[in-house]
Structure formats: C-alpha cells, structure tokens
Structure 1
Amino acid sequence: MQRVMTKLKKWWPDFNSVVGFFILSVFLITLKTYWAYQTAFSLGAKGVLQQFLLVVNPLPTAIILFGIALYFRGKISYWLMILMNFIQSAWLFANMLYYREFTDFISLNIAKTSGSLSLEKAINGIIQPSDFLVFLDIIILIILLAVHWIKIDPMRVPRRVAMLITILGIVLMGAFFGVASKDRSGLLTRTFDNNYIVKYLGLNEYAAYNLVKTHEQANEVKQAKASDLDQIKQFVNSNKTLANSATYGQAKGKNVIIFHLESFQQFLLDYRWEGQEVTPNLNAFYHDQNTTAFDNFYNEVGQGKTADAELMLETSLFGTSSGSAMTNYGTNNTFQAMPALLKQEGNYTSAAFHGDVGSFWNRDNTYKNWGYDYFFSKAYYQNADNPDYNVGYGMKDKIFLKDTANYMQQLPQPFYSKVITVTNHYPYDLDDKNISINKTNTNDKTVDGYVQTARYLDQAFGEFEQNLKDSGLWDNSMVVLYGDHYGISDNHKDAIAKLIGKKELTPLDLANWQKVPLMIRVPGMQGGINHTYGGEIDVMPTLLGLLGIQDSHLVGFGQDLFSDQNKQIVPFRNGNWVSSEYTKYGSNYYVTATGTKIDPKSDPRAKVAIDAANKYVETSLRSSDKIVQGNLLRFLDKQDVPKNKTKDLSYKKSVGMKKLKHSQKDKTSIVAQNDGNIFAYQTNAPELGGDRQSKQDGEDNTNSTDIATPESILNGHGSDHDK
C-alpha cells in the first residue's frame, strides 16, 4: 500500500508548485463550466461525442489564459491565475443570468444595446443562490493561499515549459474544432444558433467568435454611406410593378395566417405512394376554389435555409452569401418588416409560433426588431420538454399546433401570424405510433422516410385547418402556405429520379427540384393554379397587394406575383436563376419549357434575354447584400421606416401571458367574442390520447382531447422552462 501511495504522490501534482496550482485552476474552471452547461443552459448535447466536447471545450482557453501566469514568478503568477479564474467565472455567471431570461448568450451587440442584465431585473428574481457557486472555488483558493495551506512557490517556471503549455492550448483548440466541425459541418460559416457554438466550441470561444463577427459587421456598417442606398433605390424603383386591379385589396382587413411547411417540396402535392395520397389535406387546400397556388414557385435560400426564407417573406431581402442574416444582422439592423408595417398601416397584432427554443436562428432578437408583438416559443407550450412530445428540431407538429390554435384564438383581430412547423425536417425520423404510410423504396435512407414525415405534417395541418373553420377564423383570414426550402438535396440524384419516375435527371430537373409550394387562400376570391414564375423574395409585395397596402416606399427585391409586369425571373443565392423563358444552371443555359440546352452566342434573341436576366440577378443579389451587410436602411427617411418600439417588447412567458390576458379587454379576439370560451381542438395525436395512426388512406382516427380554458392558459398553461 505504501508503494502505491508513493507512486500516486509521484504522479499527483504538488499544488504548492506553480504548475500544480495551474493544473488545479484548470480543473476547477473546467468542472464548474461543465456543471453550468448541464444545469443553467439547454445545449441539447446528444451522444458520447457531444458530451465529451462539453467536458473538454473549456480546456483550451483555460490553458491559454491560466498559462499567461506561468511567464511570471512568485505571488504574481498565483494572483494572475486567480484573476483569470474570476474573469472566466464572471463571464459564465453573466451568461447564466442572461440565458435564464432570454434563452441565449450575451453578444457584444446585445451587451451594448439591450441593458438586459440591469440590477433591477436581477433583484426581481433572475439571480438564484446556486448561481454563486461559480465563484466558490475562487473563494476557497484565496483562503487556502491566505492561511498558507497552499504555499507560494517562488521558483520561475522555465520559459520553454510555459511556451509549451501555451502551444498545447492552441493545439487543443484546433483539434477540438476539427472534431466539432466533423460532427457539425459549417459550424462557423452557417451559424444558426449560439447554442451550437457553445456546445461544440465552448463559452469562451463563442465570445471570441462573436467579437470577430461584430468587428467585421461594424466595419461593413462604417464603410457604408447614404449614397450607396440611393443607387440601390434607383434599381429597386425601376423594377416596381403596378398592382393587379382584380386582386389588389381582396384581403383588406383580414387576418393573415402564414403556415410554414418545413422542408416541403412542390412535388409532394398530388403525389401518390402505394396508391395513397401522401398529403390529402394539403392537396384539398391546393385545389380549393379560393386558393391561388403557384406551381412555378422556387425556394431561394442560401446557407441560412429557414432563416433566409423567413427574411425574404418578412422583408423582401435576400439572405446573405454566407451564414444567416437573421443571426448576424437581425438584432440591430433597420428593417421594413411585415409585422411593424402592418401594425402601422392596419393596426395589426402580430405573433410568431415555433415549437423550439427562441434563440434558434436568433429569432428572439430578430422578431423584436421586426416588430412582432408576441413570440410563442417552446417555453409557452404545455409539457414542451417531454421527450415523447419532441422529435428532431422541436415539438411534434400535432402537439405544437393544438396549443398554437388556442393562443391564436386569443389574439386581437386583425392579426398577422406565422406558424413554423418542424417535424418534416431532415433526417425525417418519426416514431412508429405516428407513422401512417410506408417508406418509399429508393434504397436511400435519407430520402425514404420523407413521405412519412410529410404525411404527418399533412395530418397536423388538417387538424389545424379544421379548428380554424370551427372557430370562425377560416372565413375571416387569408391563409398562406409555403415551403421554406428543399427537403431532399440534389446530392440524392438516384433517389430523386426514382421518386419522379425518371431514369436520368437533367439539369432542368435539378433546377425544378427547388420548387416549393406557395398557396394563398383568400375568402371570396376566385383561386386556381397560377403559372407565374416567382420565389420567396416575391411573397411580401404579393401579400401587401392583396391587403391593399402600397409598397412604393419599400426597398425590397420582390415583385407582386399577381402583377402583369412581374419579370418572372427567379434568382438563386448561388447565381443560378430560372425565368419563364430560360434557365441558368451552372455555366449552361436551357430553354425552360423544353430543357433544351442553348448557346446564347448562336441565338441573338436568347442572348439579349439571358444577358438582361444575368444583370438583373447579379444586381439584385449584390444590392441586397449591401443593404444587409451595411445596414443601409438606416439612411431611409424616418417616415419610410415602420415605427417599432423594440425595447418595449419582451417574449418572456410571464410577460407575454399577462399581455395576452390584458388584450382580451379589446373584445376583438375569437375568445372574447365567444364569451371567454376556446373552440375545442380535435387531434388524433397518440401522445395526447388519440388513436394509433392508420396506414389506410382516408381513415379518420381523429379524437377530441381535453382543451385548456383561456384562464388556465393565461395563468400558467405551458412548460416551466422560463418560470
């Protein structure tokens, strides 16, 4: 035993030495950071690798920062390590408080502008006694040094040892980044949630990343000038279209309900598998006599995917060439966004609904900047953290939509709302009890489950649609359905060919694979299939036209899809485009109607049209990037920017519920008009007591579920996430 103890002492660090104290400090900061990751944040780490990264990601910066002290000797080196410990602990402490309030991490822009960590708010209950545990080790170390239980080592650490330790920290940082990037490609170039940066790289690395991004953005903004916007406005105004007199104002004064079909592609409409309609409810909506459906409508997203789609729909600006504009610019840029615009022009209430955390794609900050009155994120939903209620990127659609409908019935009318579904998201996994159709047989694991989650989304929409009809919202609302981006990328060519019944795909097939639905139902307005070529950038001016709102002062790059003057040129973020005449795919051009490859040099007429389209696409993308990256809309005249009291908005559940309850005094909501009663929501979600799904097409398994009363919703219905 004595021999064992002797060997242990040989390997156990001597905490009386500088290096021993260094090792102890690194261990303690790593331990408490991991504790905070697990108790104060919701990082969603899954699997052994992600848990491993959570344990080790504090190490590189801790080694580098504590390593600075090793270049000094005596008391200075010890107190420098105490100081470095305090700085990291204070940063950890501040983020714990901020995350509890906003489910996000502190950015430099937020720290400068929001004042969210004021003493007043802290006194009002943000701080919990356990938060101070992050400083406990510092106090203990100071006491141990003060009473000489740990003695100061006067010896200087050899410089080469100090340098090797610094290099070790840098090497570890690079190695962990490599491992993280392999598990999550595009981690820094396609940033959509700060939780991912912290989960994979660490809280300190997130701070460094945010500083770099903030500096880059600040330089772009500094270099921008008002004359840059003037040039862009000339281009935008030259491409404005006249409204269609037959459709202009047809939805004036009506509610707007935008239903986000996650990863849903156009080919799924009317698509049959094994004799069954994959999406019978969406097919019925597609063919409704009051629905105008655009069958040549394309997604135009870049790296920002869903965030790019939202940006285009709400502002008629393109996503940037890299990353997510909502993440990088959504917090502080000036926008002419739909929620604020409709509040100013038509006194609309605005609300967004999403069954995931509010920080995803920086929605919690961007939505405030766009003027959303309410953001019902995951924290608002009953038992939202129940694992059986979630799949992939958030709550299952049927469960999410049940509470969404209840909240929607309480919104003062008219309202503008956006409902974001998530179940039909890659990798298209679904538990057996919710499956109602067999997988396809392309032998591509990524592709074959797609029809199953699409069917589930369709069923969820059918239940939601029925509740709109039951409550009366159906007859007083413009309902808009859109697909945000492709569900199956063109990397799966063999599977795509099997799905659409082709032996081999052409470049035009791949371009058309980017089609997603856009369906707009306006009560009383004759619908039909509209073959106009357009994309997500065109949604905002199209909806404004239907609502009877002039857009002459808006700086955007879309055109009203109902206008006879629409150019019918659809830019893609990579520079490709589709028009009603020609298609650019890579460096080649094709006749859109036939797919025939053409050489513009040998066809003068085609060359003129193609050159004009190329110029239009390039100018549109470049101009939009300048607006977003330079925050050029801040140079607009004040009357051209919708008033938006961003600082007065809060999406914290307790605040939102109080506000919603108070709004019932206006007597304009469905609930207020129904003597305080909510129209019951019907769902067959098995998690809520519904029947197991049937694989027989058309079989009705819909059951009623217990519905919360408005009073119970307003007084605590939802998860305990932000209580």
Structure 2
Amino acid sequence: MWDRLATDGLAILVIMCLIELIVPSRAKGPVMWGFNLVFSLMLFASTLYYAHFGSVPTYTALRELHQVPQIKGSVESLIEPEYFLFFIDLLVLAILWGVTLSKPKSMRLGRRPVWKIGVAAAGVVSLILSGWYIHNGGKIENEIVQAENLGFLDYQVAAVLKENRQNDEITDGNLGKTKSEVKKLQATFAYKDASSGKGNLQYFGAAKGKNLIIIQMEAFQNFPLHLSLNGQELTPVLNKLAAEGLYFPNFYQQIGQGNTSDAEFMSNTSIYPTGTIAMSTGYGDRELPSLPRLLEKYNYESSTFHVNDVSFWDRSKMYPALNFTHYYDKPSYTNDHFNAFGASDEELYRVGVEKLSELHKQNKPFYAQFVTASSHAPFNVPKDRQRITLPDSLQGTELGDYLTAINYTDYAIGTLVERLKQNGMWDDTALVAYGDHFGILPKLASEEFISSELGIKYNDQVSRYNIPLLIHIPGQSSGKVVERVGGQLDILPTVANIMGVSLAKEGFTAFGHDLLNVDHNIFGMRYYLPTGSFFNDDVLFVPGKGFDDGTAISLKTYEPVTDITKYRADYDYILKLMKLSDAYVKQLPKRGP
C-alpha cells in the first residue's frame, strides 16, 4: 500500500525531529545510526513475525523475545533474502553522514537557529497529522487493516491507547457484573433449538469417576486423519480411536500470541486469549477457574507433562494458576535427543505412565495433561524414528517432513495406549486428543501443492486452522462422528459433561459450549486471523475495516459466500463476547504468595 507510506514517514519524522532538537550535536550521528538500526531490526523481525503468525506484532510481543532461541529452527526457515533490504538504508545513511562530516563546521545546519525552528515546526505538524491518522484508524477492529492504514509506528501507539482504554473500562466494572453480562449475552444466541427441549444431556457422566488424560498434539492438523500415502496409513492409532469413540472433524484452533501455551490455557479454562499477550505470561498470576479446580472437588489429582523446560512460555506461572498439583518438565525425562526440545513423545509417555500408575495403585483418580513436542517445526524426525516412506515428490519438502512427524506422533500415542493397557488403566481412563494449532505454513507448502500431492481438497484458511478432536470413553462400543462445528474453548465444557460435572451447578463461566449438547455453535478467532473473525455452522468470516467489507468462505465447499448480510448479528455477538472474556480474565483475583 504505497499510498500509506506517508503515515510511517510522518511518525519517523517526529522521532528524527526530537533527536535533532534534544540530542547534543556530537551525539546526533551515533543516535541517528542507532535509531536507523533499531527501526530496521524492528521491521525485519516484524516481517518474520507476520510470515509465521499472520499478525502484525505490537510492543507486547517484546515480552516474549526470550522465547525465540527455543524456536530457532522454526524462525530460520521463514527468512527470505529480500528481508535484508530493510538494512540497505544504513549504507545510504553512512554515505550521507560522511558527506555531512566533510563539510566545514560553519556550513552545518545543526547550529543555525532558523534550522531549529524549522525542525520544530516540522515535528509539530508531523505529530498533529500522525495523531489525526491514529484517531481515524483507531476504531478499526481488524488489526491487519488498522496497521495498513496507520503504518507500523502509529499502529504501536494505537495499540497502547486501545489497551489503556480497555483497562479503564474493565476497572469500572466488577467480576460479578461481567459474569452476569456474559450469561445474558450468551442467551441471545440460539445454541439450542427450541424444539429440542430440555431433555437429558447426551453423554453426561459417561466417564464419571474415570481417570482423564488429555493429549495436546503439537502442530497437528486434521487433514492427515484417515489419509494414506502409498498405501501407508498416516494416523492408524488416531483413526482407530475415532472409529471407537467420538470424533469431531469440524474443530478449529483459537490460539493467541502464546501459541501452544494458549491452547493449554483455553482447554483448561474455556476463556478467550486476549490476543495481545501470551496468557501464561499475562495472567499466570491469577486464580484461574479451570478443569483441575473443577475435578479437585471430586478428589482428582492433576498433573501435566511436557519435555521442555517449564519456564518456556512462562508455564511455571500458568500451571499453579490452573491449579495443577504436579508438573513434570525437562529434568524428569531421559534425553534421547529426538529434536531441539530434547526427549521424544515415547519418553514423555513412558515417564507419564510411570507417575500415573502410582496414583492408580492408590485408587486415586487423576487428570493428566500431555503436551507433545515431537511434531514441532521444523519437523526433523531422526532417520531411525521415521516410520513411513515418502514418495520421491515429497522428499525434502515441508509437506513430506510434516507428514513424517505427524505419523510419528500418532505412533507414540499408540505406545501410550499400550502402556495404559499393560498397567491396567485403559479401561478406567477417558482419553481426549486434540491439535494445538496448524503445522503447515502456506509460504512453505501451498494449498495447490498439498491438494495435488495428497489428492484432497485443501484450503489455506479453513483446512489450515482445522485441527482434530477425539474422545475415547471407556466401555463405548461404537464410534460416532460429531459434525458440530467447534473450537478449543469448547473442550472444557464437553469434557466436563462426559466427566459428570455440571458447569451450571458449579457456577462456572465458560465461553465455549458442550459440543455434544448444542444444535448450533459460533466462536471467534483473533490471532492468525484479525479480530472480528469467527466460525459458525456455515462459514469462516473475516472482516475488512468492519463487517460490510468482510469476506466469508463456506466450511463445506471452501467457496466464497457472496451474501454475508445474515451474518452481521454473529459478527456483533462475537465482538461483544470476546470483549467480555477480556474483562472477565482481567478481573479474576490474583493468587496469594
């Protein structure tokens, strides 16, 4: 958008004028060099960020810089040579600075009073115009469109103003009032048909008193399920679980800035990520209403297992906030050097079953969360762990490496099932498995390439965000495909239902719904897609500046939907619901020391 470069030009001019007016003459050169270098680095990093997240970063992303070394491999794969053009102006500046220094001191403009007045005037005019841009663009909900209209620097200012405005609104409210408003708003959406009545809840208490294991599968999309490659079943274990249990093929990610950790947060709280900060970092100091807290009332002990260091994504804060009794991180496992994170999924499950079997022997019911890492980008599965043979056309490709990693993740889950059977726990355990987020980036494997290589219909938005959800209930004799559209917020209400926990009786505020007992569903997404995006029974809707210039795509055909007028109420509803979710989580009490 070349016509919008003026917005960044004005913001930069404000900063340069301040440097010219405030910084002593001898220091101006180094300071200008420093500003140029920092700004170039910001643009370079933000371009990488956008390539991965599909979102323009704000100042809040700086809080997660310490996480970057942990995902070095994923980041490096996104760098393109043209990104380094951001630094070419440093060479131009060096030449100009050299020319300026060669002039006699008497000719340098920096010492003339008239020059100073001109700089001050330019700075004031630029500041006023930038403020005008921010005022007009600040009302745009879609962050990408807002950034396009404001430019990178003014977008940061708008983000600060928006955050402060929202915090002021939340401060004026209270938790009880917010919960009441949530309940009132949710009653306006017809999640249940009037004709369906108030009969018994389906599957309520189907796994009451049983152990609960939830597996969060790293970068696991739904399309590999029930797919074969040269006669090789890609996910035989999950296919079998789907055939014997509940399978939700129309299930989608909703994560925010915290990625994997946000998926953990949502599945355990049914609260929207704010999208401005990883929830573990921003709200790890709260007492979060959660699945571990709900099950604690039924004498359950909750543990979480992950092969990485617990400090990654500030899980050391989040796990106590969620009320997990134990966490088992990197030191708990034997490092078999599977990938950059260390231990393999097989080792994760070996240690997990070892710890859980001790509780089982004590007749202590447990809830265990496993967060896998073996299918993490860049999908480098060691040769001796690869279990499928790729066709020549997929050798050395992102798609081929991804399918190899997914196949291993599936195999490792099979080892968990076998260990549970060997230790007499399988028949007493409900097993839930879901993907945390997509794995394949469009720039590394296009929808055309995926579709042609695998013989499937793949869409960069719908298929990309489509993740699996499977639930195995002990004693269930036959499987069921649940077509209801759902998102990660719906995991807690659905699981609570099968565990025999009534959220209504517990007074639990959930922003998702029990997928086994709703006739319609709607849920928002505001990371990887802009604020105002939502899924309902029919479409994925993505706004433009607002609703009217938004686009919708059919979840069934992947074709554009031209008449979007009937979805306006859904758009307004989701915006209100997400704002209430933000208010709710920010008003939750902080934990004691």
Q: TM-score, normalised by structure 2?
A: 0.68
Alignment partner, residue 332 of structure 1: 285
Alignment partner, residue 522 of structure 1: 473
Against the structure 1 CA distance between its residues 233 and 292, is the aligned structure 2 distance closer, same or farther, given a 3 Å change threshold?
Answer: same
Alignment partner, residue 618 of structure 1: 575
Distance in 1 (CA, whole Å) between partners of 2:588 and 2:591 is: 17
Distance in 2 (CA, whole Å) between partners of 1:622 and 1:436 is: 46
Distance in 2 (CA, whole Å) between partners of 1:197 and 1:585 is: 29
Q: Which has the larger radius of gyration?
A: 1
8 Å CA contact 2:287–2:591 kept in 1: the answer is: no
Alignment partner, residue 226 of structure 2: 270
Q: Write out per-residue CA displacement over residues 451-479 of structure 1, whole angstroms, 9 at most, x where no aligned residue.
A: 11111111211111100111111111111
1:540 to 492, 497, 507: 492
Post-superposition shift, 1:335? 1.9
Distance in 2 (CA, whole Å) between partners of 1:371 and 1:271 is: 38
Q: Write out per-residue CA displacement over residues 492-511 of structure 1, whole angstroms, 9 at most, x where no aligned residue.
A: 22322224425x86x6x731
Q: Write out per-residue CA displacement over residues 400-458 of structure 1, whole angstroms, 9 at most, x where no aligned residue.
A: 22222212222362111100111111111122111121335357732220111111111
8 Å CA contact 2:436–2:467 kept in 1: the answer is: yes
8 Å CA contact 1:262–1:425 kept in 2: the answer is: yes
Distance in 2 (CA, whole Å) between partners of 1:618 and 1:407 is: 43
Against the structure 1 CA distance between its residues 418 and 224, is the aligned structure 2 distance closer, same or farther, given a 3 Å change threshold?
Answer: farther
Post-superposition shift, 1:318? 1.4
Q: Secondary structure at the match of 1:391?
A: coil
Post-superposition shift, 1:266? 1.2
Post-superposition shift, 1:217? 7.9
Q: Secondary structure at the match of 1:589?
A: strand
Alignment partner, residue 319 of structure 1: 273
Amino acid of the structure 1 residue aligned with 2:551: N
Post-superposition shift, 1:199? 9.5
1:422 to 355, 360, 373: 373
Against the structure 1 CA distance between its residues 478 and 283, is the aligned structure 2 distance closer, same or farther, given a 3 Å change threshold?
Answer: same
Alignment partner, residue 261 of structure 2: 307
Tell me if 1:375 matches 2:375: no
Alignment partner, residue 437 of structure 1: 388
Post-superposition shift, 1:233? 3.7
Distance in 1 (CA, whole Å) between partners of 2:556 and 2:58 is: 39
1:195 to 60, 63, 66: 66
Tell me if 1:589 matches 2:537: no
Against the structure 1 CA distance between its residues 173 and 645, is the aligned structure 2 distance closer, same or farther, given a 3 Å change threshold?
Answer: closer
8 Å CA contact 1:244–1:562 kept in 2: the answer is: no
Post-superposition shift, 1:590? 4.6
Distance in 1 (CA, whole Å) between partners of 2:310 and 2:571 is: 38
Alignment partner, residue 402 of structure 1: 350
Against the structure 1 CA distance between its residues 407 and 590, is the aligned structure 2 distance closer, same or farther, given a 3 Å change threshold?
Answer: same
Distance in 2 (CA, whole Å) between partners of 1:401 and 1:192 is: 32
Alignment partner, residue 148 of structure 2: none
Q: Secondary structure at the match of 2:438?
A: coil
Alignment partner, residue 231 of structure 1: 181
Q: How do 1:456-535 residues align onto structure 2 when only pairs under 5 Å count? A: 456-491=408-443, 492-501=446-455, 510-526=461-477, 527-535=479-487
Against the structure 1 CA distance between its residues 433 and 306, is the aligned structure 2 distance closer, same or farther, given a 3 Å change threshold?
Answer: same
Alignment partner, residue 339 of structure 2: 391
Q: Write out per-residue CA displacement over residues 513-551 of structure 1, whole angstroms, 9 at most, x where no aligned residue.
A: 422111111112353211111111111111111111111
8 Å CA contact 1:435–1:452 kept in 2: the answer is: yes
8 Å CA contact 2:338–2:382 kept in 1: the answer is: no
Q: Secondary structure at the match of 1:258?
A: strand
Amino acid of the structure 2 residue aligned with 1:458: D
Alignment partner, residue 250 of structure 1: 206
Distance in 2 (CA, whole Å) between partners of 1:217 and 1:475 is: 51
Against the structure 1 CA distance between its residues 362 and 244, is the aligned structure 2 distance closer, same or farther, given a 3 Å change threshold?
Answer: farther
Task: Mark the runs of 5 or more structure 2 residues left unpaired by the alignment.
Answer: 1-22, 51-56, 72-155, 193-197, 544-549
Distance in 2 (CA, whole Å) between partners of 1:251 and 1:612 is: 37
Q: Secondary structure at the match of 2:535?
A: strand
Q: Write out per-residue CA displacement over residues 276-314 of structure 1, whole angstroms, 9 at most, x where no aligned residue.
A: 1112222222212xx111111112223332122212211
Distance in 2 (CA, whole Å) between partners of 1:394 and 1:191 is: 26
Give me the identity figure in percent.
Answer: 26
8 Å CA contact 1:229–1:633 kept in 2: the answer is: no
Distance in 1 (CA, whole Å) between partners of 2:484 and 2:166 is: 40
Distance in 1 (CA, whole Å) between partners of 2:409 and 2:388 is: 12
Greater RCO, 1 or 2 (C-alpha within 8 Å, sep 6+) = 2
Alignment partner, residue 294 of structure 2: 341
Distance in 1 (CA, whole Å) between partners of 2:350 and 2:487 is: 30
Alignment partner, residue 455 of structure 1: 407
1:220 to 163, 167, 172: 167
Moved more, 415-424 or 185-194: 185-194
8 Å CA contact 2:346–2:412 kept in 1: the answer is: yes
Against the structure 1 CA distance between its residues 159 and 324, is the aligned structure 2 distance closer, same or farther, given a 3 Å change threshold?
Answer: closer
Distance in 1 (CA, whole Å) between partners of 2:229 and 2:58 is: 36
8 Å CA contact 2:214–2:433 kept in 1: the answer is: yes
Tell me if 1:292 matches 2:250: no
Amino acid of the structure 1 residue aligned with 2:285: N
Against the structure 1 CA distance between its residues 374 and 160, is the aligned structure 2 distance closer, same or farther, given a 3 Å change threshold?
Answer: same
Post-superposition shift, 1:579? 2.7
Q: Secondary structure at the match of 1:395?
A: coil
Amino acid of the structure 1 residue aligned with 2:214: I
Against the structure 1 CA distance between its residues 369 and 520, is the aligned structure 2 distance closer, same or farther, given a 3 Å change threshold?
Answer: same
Distance in 2 (CA, whole Å) between partners of 1:588 and 1:393 is: 39
Distance in 2 (CA, whole Å) between partners of 1:392 and 1:498 is: 31
Alignment partner, residue 627 of structure 1: 584
Alignment partner, residue 10 of structure 1: none
8 Å CA contact 1:278–1:454 kept in 2: the answer is: yes
Amino acid of the structure 2 residue aligned with 1:196: Q
Distance in 1 (CA, whole Å) between partners of 2:36 and 2:235 is: 51
Q: Secondary structure at the match of 1:266?
A: coil
Q: Secondary structure at the match of 2:272?
A: coil
Against the structure 1 CA distance between its residues 192 and 470, is the aligned structure 2 distance closer, same or farther, given a 3 Å change threshold?
Answer: farther
Amino acid of the structure 2 residue aligned with 1:588: T
8 Å CA contact 1:577–1:584 kept in 2: the answer is: yes
Tell me if 1:260 matches 2:216: yes
Alignment partner, residue 72 of structure 1: none
Post-superposition shift, 1:585? 4.9
Against the structure 1 CA distance between its residues 181 and 515, is the aligned structure 2 distance closer, same or farther, given a 3 Å change threshold?
Answer: closer
Distance in 1 (CA, whole Å) between partners of 2:418 and 2:199 is: 33
Distance in 2 (CA, whole Å) between partners of 1:546 and 1:416 is: 13
Amino acid of the structure 2 residue aligned with 1:298: Y
Alignment partner, residue 717 of structure 1: none
Amino acid of the structure 2 residue aligned with 1:406: E
8 Å CA contact 1:191–1:323 kept in 2: the answer is: no
Post-superposition shift, 1:224? 4.5
- Alignment length, in residue pairs? 451
Task: Mark the runs of 5 or more structure 1 residues left unpaired by the alignment.
Answer: 1-157, 201-208, 602-606, 635-643, 648-723
Distance in 1 (CA, whole Å) between partners of 2:385 and 2:449 is: 24
Amino acid of the structure 2 residue aligned with 1:431: P
